[in-house]
Structure 1
């Protein structure tokens, strides 16, 4: 296996020159991607409708093509789902990624073109490992297996000749044989439909493998690792996998989980944590410097053209969208993408905040629909993650999951935020935890601080401390188990809170 590791490292190191190229010429790279997308799609129905053949500049593109939500694009996507060719992209679409994003019942179906699979998702996977090597040149990560928790695939309900599934499942199903050789568990297990049975088989198989890296969502990785520890009787995962080197994570913020991973599962400074930002719609960013926690390099040559809408423009009929050279560091933007799968000026639903320019690094700050602003406080997921981390660090506690929403004003009572927080290690003093959580939110969010001043508009938060397994059971009841489903961190309504509280109180 040493030979395999050395050859793979040598091959991937050569890819770094391409990454350096778009870091050096980001605007030119995006202009090239834009031109290629417009030229490729000019004879599609969408391209004809919006005169792609006449578009000569990005400004003309922005003037002619509307920013669209999934619901607005769905009439076109539905036709592609039913097998109609050349609607939004000229290539034949044989795969669709199915995403619910949160616990909402409604699913999204996103086309995955051959170009998106090869030039975006697979390029992202290779560059992810390239940047890991760049941070640790002496790595032996390819001496062992990479563990990844796959989703499921099903026949397209609209067209028997194509398939739909989690994007991870689509990627795994199309992996070349050499890549399949380097990962675990086997494909037939990774793509199993029943989550509990899959988890049991994965734990049995992977506990016997020399796993050196994991690619996964923190929440579901924890569930798998707990089962492996129970099965093996080991104290931590390094006793199971002594050569383990890297956890590559994404989909949700890692900050609420970092201390848990470093203390319970991988108590070693030798384990590296690398963040990625990918979704059903594409692969967007990778942490290029492990010392820059929470910051990721925007990958600019994957066939995706990026625009950024300032938050005060979101919701407008014709929002102003900024280009890469127009963004400002530290400001929140709603992400808009045009892709090599035919998603045009698509408002993906994520908000991002740039941490640097030239090179362009960013962090995911939240979702355009996941926030609490019931009282003008504008609390976003980034604020909540910061406060949770501050409270856990100062009380020596460990949090697994949380969600929060508003308690509205009524009958002369003031409003407040209500939290449901699941722990593996609870704080000794619950009041201290709540006070630190509140203080950290006030520190990081001036609007929240103003509403909390002397309890005039908002009372201190109400926190429910719940045991490990609470969110897992809730997600299972809603048929939302698996790596592609995420617990909603914040909501401006009580939809999730009330449902969870009903389960807790019986």
Structure 2
């Protein structure tokens, strides 16, 4: 009876999803009007004359696109000067510390009551509804959910203003009943990564874990530790484990390792797209990893076409103007007080009825030193193909350009950490990687022609745990922190090489 009731509740969460799927553009217009109403009398709204804006066309003309650097002075009014009604008309108590891969310093993203409840939590209900709609036999809610999030701390500069990873903020503000179903808050919010890993292991081995939530790379670290500490397999420890709701990085490079750790036909992996700035997408079907764009979660979307990314005043298209198969940089306006904010993620739509998409990378995470326009999506798929062909399993990787020398052409230098190295000749792995990139990216293929401007990839294998130790060294272990996959400059590759050399 309990199981039937819980299933009924979960599937009931699908009704609002169907509503905005049936009327996507109308839903976005309602969201736009609601956000604008909240912003009219804020300092930012007065600065940009929100009172005179009557429609979305006026909005795109009169309100500038904004980056974090341009947003920061407005945040300082809240954090340092303790002002309110700056970006949003309700108080801001929380700031999510963004662990973006392309910035060395943390970004502070405002979190309001509206963005927390109408945005993140509502999107969480959508996630549950979509999953239960496709799997009405689900029973994960009857057990515990293992959550590996970030840490919480108090920002003393801002007085009574709290900061932390968005995952920590979400857990801190969960209703009591939801907290009982998840990893204990006292463990999940521990700031010390090693201590958190151990206590999560101690908790998990005794619990009926039926679902997991987190970033694939860090959950994998935890699962390996649990297996190592107990000497037991994951299905043996948790026979009712059913689903892993994952996000933050592509799951593709980690999929084989999860399938080895959890060799169960009933195990499911459900993609999500949530960031410090909001919760934007959820996998829409068991048959594809493509995600549904969430349209009633206090987020108004615009999109910058690929040729406009680096322009000083790029134009944007609304949701109604996107086309399938094209690359876009996403722009968001949210109830957190972000107005036409360039989040830095790139997406590609695979359908416009409904609006399905996949995350393809970051506007600052690519290699285009020679006109090859290599994006993370290309790199992930090529690594996966090379692994499957050679029996290898990659833990982490990063790549950057090697520039022209007096006697050499340019190239891409890859640092790769293997869980299982390629069988046979390592040259085969490099050759398949290169051929896959050519097939996936015509610009890369053109630049590789006859080795005229771009030579063969230079692949260097690093020892196991190198990336983990490097992230710890940078104080970015755990939580939502991610290893940068691609960079158009060499600072990450050189930093890792320097770190390796310092240990030798």
Q: Tell me how far 1:103 sits from its aligned partner.
A: 6.7
The answer as to 2:383 corresponding to 1:388 is yes
Which residue, out of 414, 418, 422, partners 1:423? 418
Q: Is the 8 A contact 2:102 2:364 kept in 1?
A: no
TM-score (ref. length: structure 2): 0.97
- Partners of 1:153 and 1:52 lie apart in 2 by 35
Q: Is the 8 A contact 1:103 1:487 kept in 2?
A: no
Q: Tell me how far 1:456 sits from its aligned partner.
A: 1.5
- Structure 1 residue runs of 5 or longer lacking an equivalent are none
Aligned residue number for residue 77 of structure 2: 79
Aligned residue number for residue 126 of structure 1: 125
Aligned residue number for residue 137 of structure 2: 138
Range 45-54 or range 20-29, more displaced: 45-54
The answer as to 2:278 corresponding to 1:278 is no
The answer as to 2:39 corresponding to 1:44 is no
Report Cα offsets for 1:414-469 as digits up to 9, x if no partner. 11111111111111131111111000000000111111112111111111122331
Mapping of residues 356-375 of structure 1, within 5 Å: 356-375=351-370
Q: Tell me how far 1:158 sits from its aligned partner.
A: 2.5
Q: Is the 8 A contact 2:253 2:394 kept in 1?
A: yes
Aligned residue number for residue 238 of structure 2: 241
Q: Is the 8 A contact 1:253 1:385 kept in 2?
A: yes
Which residue, out of 455, 471, 489, partners 1:493? 489
Mapping of residues 97-246 of structure 1, within 5 Å: 97-102=96-101, 104-184=103-183, 186-234=184-232, 236-246=233-243
Range 296-305 or range 123-132, more displaced: 123-132
- Partners of 1:491 and 1:252 lie apart in 2 by 15
- Partners of 2:228 and 2:95 lie apart in 1 by 36
- Structure 2 residue runs of 5 or longer lacking an equivalent are none
Q: Is the 8 A contact 1:119 1:303 kept in 2?
A: yes
Range 314-323 or range 169-178, more displaced: 314-323
Number of residue pairs matched? 500
- What secondary structure is seen at the aligned counterpart in 2 of 1:150? coil
Backbone CA RMSD of aligned residues: 1.1
The answer as to 2:329 corresponding to 1:334 is yes
- Partners of 2:500 and 2:264 lie apart in 1 by 36
Which residue, out of 272, 278, 286, partners 1:290? 286
Which residue, out of 325, 328, 338, partners 1:343? 338
Q: Is the 8 A contact 1:103 1:480 kept in 2?
A: no
Q: Is the 8 A contact 1:8 1:142 kept in 2?
A: yes
Q: Tell me how far 1:100 sits from its aligned partner.
A: 2.5
Report Cα offsets for 1:237-260 as digits up to 9, x if no partner. 112211110011100000111111
- Partners of 1:139 and 1:412 lie apart in 2 by 61
Q: Is the 8 A contact 1:103 1:475 kept in 2?
A: no
Report Cα offsets for 1:339-366 as digits up to 9, x if no partner. 0011000000101100100100110111
The ranges of structure 1 where at least 4 consecutive aligned residues each deviate by more than 6 angstroms after the TM superposition are none
Aligned residue number for residue 450 of structure 1: 446
- Partners of 1:79 and 1:8 lie apart in 2 by 45
Q: Tell me how far 1:403 sits from its aligned partner.
A: 0.3
- What secondary structure is seen at the aligned counterpart in 1 of 2:317? coil
Q: Tell me how far 1:7 sits from its aligned partner.
A: 2.6
- Partners of 2:162 and 2:6 lie apart in 1 by 31
- Partners of 2:463 and 2:247 lie apart in 1 by 24
- Partners of 1:87 and 1:104 lie apart in 2 by 25
Aligned residue number for residue 500 of structure 2: 504
- Partners of 1:121 and 1:205 lie apart in 2 by 26
Report Cα offsets for 1:171-219 as digits up to 9, x if no partner. 00001110011112x1111100110111111111111111011011011
Report Cα offsets for 1:116-137 as digits up to 9, x if no partner. 0001111121221111111211
Report Cα offsets for 1:104-162 as digits up to 9, x if no partner. 43110011000000011111212211111112111111121111112111112322212
Q: Is the 8 A contact 2:93 2:161 kept in 1?
A: yes
- Partners of 2:108 and 2:192 lie apart in 1 by 21
Q: Tell me how far 1:491 sits from its aligned partner.
A: 0.5
- Partners of 1:15 and 1:198 lie apart in 2 by 32
